[in-house]
Every structure is written in C-alpha cells, then in structure tokens.
Amino acid sequence: MVVLDARGVKKSFGGVKALRGVDVTVQEGTITALIGPNGSGKTTLFNILSGVLPMDEGKVIFMNREIGNWPAYKRAALGIARTFQNLQIFQEMSVLENVMAGGFRHTSSGFMAGGLSLPKVRGEMRALEKKALKLLEELELTPYAHVQAGELPFGIQRKVEIARALALEPRLLLLDEPAAGLTTKETLALARFIHGLKERSITVFLVEHDMDLVMGISDWVIVLNFGQKIYEGTPLAVKRERTVIKAYLGEKRAKG
C-alpha cells in the first residue's frame, strides 16, 4: 500500500529553483531513503513533506488523503511525525515532558477544561505520562526521565527526539539526518533501532548523508540532484548506477 505519494513537487526561492517537479512514492512498512549531494533539494523536499515549508506546485497524498499544503500540525494529527537534524527538543523541559508532548495528538481537552482541572483533563495527562514512561523504558531512557533535556549529551538528546516522535504513534516517521553528529557506535545502534521500527508498522522516510547507514537499512533509495529525481531503486542498484556516481563524483563517501 502506498503511504505517501508526492507528485510534481516544485519549489523556488526567489530565482532559485530548488525543486523542479519531483515525484516520490513511499510504500507501507518500508524504509525509504532520500539522498543527493548538497544543494540537491532533498532538505527542501523533506521540509515540504513534513509541512514546514509550503510547495509552489504539486500534489501530496498521504494514506489516500490529499494534504496539499496542509500545515505541519494537521499532518501530525494524521500520523506523520518528524525529527530535526539540528534537534528541536524542548531544552528546558524534562525528558519525560518532551516525550509526553509527543503524545499530544491523542489528547483532546480544551482551554476551559484545562483551567478548571476537570477529571477528563487529569485522566488524559495521567495516561500521557504512563505511555511516555513506557516508551522511555523501551528506549532505555528511564534514568533520564526527570533530567532537563538540554543538559544531556547529544546522542541521548537524539534518542529523546526520536522517542518524542514515536509517542505520536505515527504511521509515517520522517527522520531528518538522524545520524548527524553521532559516533560510529551510536550510528550502528541507530541503524538497528530504525530497522526495528518495521515491527511497529511504522513506515520510515529518511534524509541522510551517511551512505553506510542508508545502504545498510533501506529498502528503497531515491536520489535527487539539482532539484530533480535522477534515479531510484534498491540500495544495490543505486550503488552501481552511473548517473548517481557521477552526481557524487568528487565527494567523499564520508559520514554526515
């Protein structure tokens, strides 16, 4: 089943054509990677798909629903979650609170109910806390539950952000350069973790520079260059494809 289907996505910044009409299809339960040299437009496309940036032209369909230029918060309500390359965790909130925030879309009480501290509100918040604690346990983050997120080492902060995204219980998880800034050991653990997400029926779409990670876990790889899709296929096929190698010619196959 197709989870995400983007067609003819175009985006310009002033005179610069960042995306010239890109088609992307993501199959359910797969790990799809978006790669390309710097300036290829992959970050722009990623931001458009997550609703943070509006596109100029194009069609985006999520689970048979046209989401066009829907803002990010509406996409989250449908089950699209994302992480950020430069980490946007809530620095001065505890790890637990960060992850609780992730579960926001499963709550519904309003302003007045909150102020009056109605039983529904208290129940919701308790449920949110329970779920968050469980998630923390699964990700081995429990010792940090009450620590301020901003005070933790980078690798742990990354984990917290992923935990927060998972708390949303997404159908589609968008990972923005998840390996950026991680050590080799941490990247390996990340790879294992992302692979494990398949068992939770979460479809993963990631943008990444680290080729080892991409080739190691992806089911499908899409290659962009100069705002256009130049190739897509299995990791093996992509590795061998001449146009892809040419696009990367001169670039080291280095990490992040």
Partner 1 sequence: MKRDYLILLLVTLVAFTLPMILPGDYYVEVFLFMGINILVALGLSLLMGYAGQISLGHAGFYGMGAYISGALTAHLGWPVPLAALVALVATALVAALVGWPTLRLRGHYLAMATLGLGIILYILFVQLKGITGGASGLSGIQPVHAGDLYLDTPRRYCYLVWSLVILAFLFSLNLVKSRSGLALRALHYSEVAASTLGIDVAKYKLQVFVFSCVLAALGGVLYAHYITFISPETFGFMYSIKLVVMIVLGGMYSLWGALLGGAFLSLLPEFLHRLEDLEVMVHGLILLMVLIFLPGGLTGLIQKIGEKIRGSS
Chain residues binding partner 1 by CB under 8 A are 50-52, 71-73, 75-77, 81-82, 84, 88-93, 97, 100-102, 104-105, 107-111, 113-117, 121, 124-125, 128, 164, 168
Nearer to partner 1, 57 or 92 (CB): 92
The distance of closest approach from Cβ of residue 140 to partner 1 in the complex, given in angstroms and rounded to an integer, is 22
The distance of closest approach from Cβ of residue 241 to partner 1 in the complex, given in angstroms and rounded to an integer, is 33
Nearer to partner 1, 63 or 125 (CB): 125
The distance of closest approach from Cβ of residue 74 to partner 1 in the complex, given in angstroms and rounded to an integer, is 8
Nearer to partner 1, 40 or 98 (CB): 98
Residue 94's nearest CA partner among 169, 149, 37 is: 149
Amino acid symbol at 70: W
Residues 6+ apart with CB under 8 A from 231: 222, 223, 238, 241, 243, 244
Instruction: Name the helix (H) or strand (E) containing 196.
Output: helix 184-196
The distance of closest approach from Cβ of residue 84 to partner 1 in the complex, given in angstroms and rounded to an integer, is 7
The distance of closest approach from Cβ of residue 159 to partner 1 in the complex, given in angstroms and rounded to an integer, is 15
- Spatial contact of 204 and 194, defined as CB atoms under 8 Å apart: yes
Nearer to partner 1, 95 or 238 (CB): 95
Question: Which region, left, alpha or beta, applies to residue 195 given φ > 0 means left and ψ of -120 to 50 means alpha?
Answer: alpha
Nearer to partner 1, 25 or 107 (CB): 107
Q: Where are the beta strands (DSSP E) in the chain?
A: 2-13, 16-27, 31-35, 57-62, 65-66, 80-82, 172-176, 203-207, 220-225, 228-233
